[in-house]
Amino acid sequence: MANFDNETVQFDGKGNSNLRGCIGNLSPIGLHDGVKKYAAVSAFEDRRFSPISADEVPMLECSVTFLSNFEEAANYVDWEIGKHGMIINFSDDRGSPLSATYLPYVCSEQGWGKEECIDSLIRKAGYRGSISQRLRNSIKLTRYQGCKATVDFAAYRGQRVADRLWLEAWG
């Protein structure tokens, strides 16, 4: 059983990349079936993006981050940038529960410090009010670690051809 996140990134050939899907599962599920399911969900069902088209496939890179070592943090800053992902849970001003997560590499890729990262995560959870120190201190944070594996389409195709699992009709 594994916990993981799956993301799809499109490259434009000029060194620029765009996230095209990112969906995962924080509950343990079977690795083979889970990766297969969430790769498809990330590519075709992430509501933030239009579904991946056949024309985009040669420009894609797919990553899977395996998540482990989940542990409750002492407070909202009890984690290390670039090492830990985090899940935050808190309540809004009306007492409604909110939560969100960032993978271990998100804050470092964005160049954020801890407080900026936490504030972004609070917004990701859907909170629209003023972010105060009191709100930050109310957060229950679970930190975790991840191991990311990435393959681009050319490498994937090359391996499938080498394994004689690629049909010429596929291009």
Q: For position 35, what pLDDT does the model report? A: 87
Mean pLDDT by 10 residues, the chain (171 residues): 68 72 87 87 90 90 92 98 97 96 94 97 96 98 94 92 88 73
Measured distance CA(46)–CA(66) in Å, rounded: 19
Q: Where are the beta strands (DSSP E) in the chain?
A: 2-11, 17-29, 60-72, 85-91, 97-102, 140-152
pTM of the model: 0.84
pLDDT attached to residue 91: 97
Position 116 scores a pLDDT of 97
Q: Residue 4: what pLDDT?
A: 66
Which residues lie below 8 Å from residue 65, measured CB to CB, with a gap of 6+?
Answer: 4, 5, 6, 7, 24, 103, 104, 105, 146, 147, 148, 149
Predicted pLDDT of residue 146: 94
Please answer whether residues 39 and 108 qualify as being in contact, where contact means their C-beta atoms are separated by less than 8 angstroms.
no
CA distance 51 to 43: 6
